[in-house]
Amino acid sequence: MSIKANIAKINEIVAGYQAELIAVSKTKPVELLLEAYELGVRDFGENKVQELVEKEQQLPNDIRWHMIGHLQRNKVKYVAPFVYLIHGVDSLKLLKEIDKQGQKVGRKIRCLLQIHIAEEETKFGFSPDEVSQLLNDPAFLEMKNIEIKGLMGMATFTEDTNQIRKEFRGLKELFDLLSVQHAEKDNVAMNILSMGMSGDYQIALEEGSNMVRVGSSIFGARSY
């Protein structure tokens, strides 16, 4: 199928849940991003800072750039001037750095807190206890140049759809709970639940996702 047909199909499904589609364009050449752009896509996700910065310089200004990968603290400064949403915030230290760089460039940088929901040890993210601790930390309350927009999670890479569903359901419950508990905080405005990728976005949508990050089902398999 063509990129056009892929986007049309996924957009139709996503629209049925009033969710948003982030086109994950990592490893893909700017020509392909431009093709998607011309089809109306404005939200692109990348997982490497250097690639994100290079593509941002070459592509139109009205693109919303999503940093979806693990972000190292020493690289925050490169994306701070333009990044639309950082999906993978997984420590207080990283959040402090984002706040600092946000202050330097005079922006309030939107962030999602990444929650560890998968069985795999290797995936980054907070536990539910850790995320509550962070949101109640006095240092967090002082951060004026970040805004917590919601949560992000990645399910276990498995064929077991019940397992995947269970993990997404747990994340939705945590999202609902934290949205209420922290609604009064100045730097919290939780309305984004980023979950679902090519292999599992339909399940994610059924379980309450309102933002899916889809790469290979749009652009084809990645070759590294």
Ligand X SMILES: *Cc1c(COP(=O)(O)O)cnc(C)c1O
Two structure tokens written together for 136? 């109640």
55 contributes a contact to ligand X by CB under 6 A: no
Q: Give the residue at shortest CB distance from ligand X.
A: 215
DSSP state for residue 62 in the 8-state scheme: T
Neighbours of 142 (CB within 10 A): 10
| CA 115 to centroid of chain Cα atoms | 11
Closest CB to ligand X among residues 123, 182? 123
Task: Specify the residue for token string 């002082």.
Answer: 142
Tell me which of 7, 14, 68, 80 binds ligand X, using CB under 6 A. Answer: 68
Task: Specify the residue for token string 């997984």.
Answer: 90
Closest CB to ligand X among residues 36, 143? 36
Tell me which of 47, 101, 187, 209 binds ligand X, using CB under 6 A. Answer: 47
197 contributes a contact to ligand X by CB under 6 A: yes
Tell me which of 55, 65, 69, 89 binds ligand X, using CB under 6 A. Answer: 69
110 contributes a contact to ligand X by CB under 6 A: no
Rg over alpha carbons for the chain, rounded to the nearest Å, is 17
Q: What SS3 class is residue 211? A: strand
The contact set with ligand X (CB under 6 A) reads: 24, 26, 47, 68-69, 197-199, 213-217
